[in-house]
Amino acid sequence: MTMRVGNGFDIHRFSSDPDRPLVLGGIVVTGSPGLMGHSDADVVAHAVADALLGAVGLGDIGMLFPDTDERWRGADSIGLLEEVVRRLRVDGWRVVNVDCSVVAERPAIAPYRDQMRERLSAVVEAPVSVKGRRAEGIGGLGRAEGIACMASALVERDQ
């Protein structure tokens, strides 16, 4: 059995478009502006995808789904994460678990944590934990200019 660990980090700035939804971990969070990005800007799904790709050495989501490619404009990032998991499986990898820390001054993550965990767990077919954390007023995240997410992923395969 071979095991590998990977980490992923992503950060997106809030959009000034009031009609843009905020999507975190595949869940639409109401009552908050959305994040700017080429895709749906799901910072949690992106960090998880990068942690998985990093674990197996398959690059990162910027390489797989470049933001210069019109195919990914407005893309559902859960779909991108599904594609990442599919590529891992092709190479014989299974996800053991994923752990995420979402850094957001607002909105509060806790009310959505269980829904995010369930959605992400269904996609990676392994336990996913999601923790919300405020930035204590420090820097751009502390000024609520955007949201960041860090993720760790463990994967395994038979040889």
- Under the binding rule (CB under 5 A), the answer on residue 10 touching Mg ion is yes
CA dist., res. 144 & res. 150, Å (int): 17
Shortest separation between residue 146's beta carbon and Mg ion, angstroms: 11
Contact 82, 8 (CB under 8 A): no
- Return the number of the residue (60 or 156) whose C-beta is nearest Mg ion: 60
Residues in a beta bridge with 73: none
Shortest separation between residue 18's beta carbon and Mg ion, angstroms: 21
CA dist., res. 157 & res. 89, Å (int): 9
Nearest to 36 by CA among 13, 18, 57, 58: 13
Stretch that binds Mg ion, among 23-31, 42-50, 81-89, 106-114 (CB under 5 A): 42-50
The residue within the footprint of Mg ion, chosen from 46, 113, 117, 119 (CB under 5 A), is: 46
Output the residue with the shortest Cβ distance to Mg ion.
Answer: 46
Stretch that binds Mg ion, among 40-48, 95-103, 129-137, 149-157 (CB under 5 A): 40-48
Backbone angles phi, psi at 94, to 5 degrees: -120, 145
Binding site for Mg ion (CB under 5 A): 10, 46
